[in-house]
Amino acid sequence: MYGAPVTQQVRVRFTVEPNYAGWRLDRYLQEKIRRLSRERVQRLIEHRLETEDGRRLKPSTRVAPGLSFALLKDAEAEPDTPQEFAVVHDDGALLVVDKPAGLPVHPTARYAANTFTSLAKLRFPERKVDPAHRLDRETSGLLACGTSPEVTKVLKRDFAHARVHKTYLALALGAPVEDAFTVDAPLALTGASAVRVRMHVAAEGLPSQTAFEVLARRRAPDGAPVALLACRPRTGRQHQIRAHLAHAGLPMVGDKIYGPDEEIFDRFTRRAMTDEDVALLRLPRHALHAWRLELPHPLTRAPVRLEVPLPPDLAAFWEGCAP
Q: Work out whether the CA dihedral 17, 22, 26, 27 comes out positive or negative.
A: negative
- Rounded Cα distance, 215 and 234, in Å: 19
Q: Which among 150, 149, 139 is positioned nearest to 105, based on CA atoms?
A: 139
Q: CA-to-CA distance for 303 and 99, rounded, in angstroms?
A: 22
CA–CA–CA angle 11, 156, 300 (5° rounding): 130
- Is 222 part of the annotated catalytic residue set? no
Give the active site residue among 26, 98, 136, 255. 136
- What phi and psi, each to the nearest 5 degrees, are found at residue 312? -55, -40
Alpha helices in 96-239 (DSSP H): 116-123, 149-160
Sign of CA dihedral 227, 231, 235, 239: positive
Q: What is the dihedral of CA 130, 136, 142, 148, to 10 degrees?
A: 0
Could you give the residue numbers annotated as active site? Answer: 136
